[in-house]
Structure 1
Amino acid sequence: MTEMSEGKRAYIILRLLLDFNEDDCPILIDQPEDDLDNRAISGQLVEYLRKKKKERQIILVTHNPNIVVGADSELVIAANQHGINNKNDEGLKFAYIAGSLEHSKANDGSDFILSSQGIREHVCEILEGGEKAFNKREQRYGFSQ
């Protein structure tokens, strides 16, 4: 196991924890993609999460939209830190918006980044390949708007 990358070791430990634990309570996983390459994320982690979420609620913190889309998340919470080009309502330092991947709303030009568009658009904005990549994943995994 010492020849494996940090990310690969963390992925194996995650699998062991979930596969051999009979608890059915929700589990919180913080950034499972750390130190994993894109192939491991899309080929192993995403497929594993899609399977395990049917058995147990998984709450996942990630900065990787490929995981959000690939694992077909049921609820996405997008966060924004207030800044010059990314304003939050009432000047809050951090703001959040939640919804499903299917929640789509064209950018309405609002000054407040989170309320200006839907969850789908927020995810596509940071997803490698944008809307085109989202649509490919939509077809691949069999979910649609």
Structure 2
Amino acid sequence: MRKYLALSAIASTLLMAGGDIAPVEPVVAVEAAEVDYGEVFGQFRTFYVDRTYLGGIENNRNTLATGGYVGYKSPDFNGLTAVVAAYGVYGFDMHDEDLDGGGSASYDPSLTGRDGENYVFIGQAYLNYAFGNT
């Protein structure tokens, strides 16, 4: 019985596969033109400073802050590009003391603004023009 079943399957496969088989040409889709939206760039870091002095000096200072910059460079428009970037720092409130109430002596001012203030400013803003191989 198994022989007849196997023979039947082979015969039907050969009958269905008979005839000319033409290869199918692959169709390649044309890619759309890539749109240039410019470039976003930036960098962020977190930094900790601890200035603990030994002895009787009560001038121990420390600060934890994160900051960095983020910017945008426009795509080239007939040789003209524009760039703008903003820089900033955010200091974390690490101490129980209020900065306005005399607690600012505990903060190290090297990472944040005066009196531990956070700040953001425009650090880059310029136009660039290139003509030919210049």
Q: Does the TM-score normalized on the shorter chain lie above 0.5?
A: no
Task: Output the TM-score relative to the length of structure 2.
Answer: 0.21
Q: Which has the higher strand share?
A: 2
Based on CA coordinates, which of the two structures has the bigger radius of gyration? 2
Q: Which has the higher helix share?
A: 1
Q: Report 1 or 2 for greater relative contact order, CA contacts < 8 Å, sequence distance ≥ 6.
A: 2
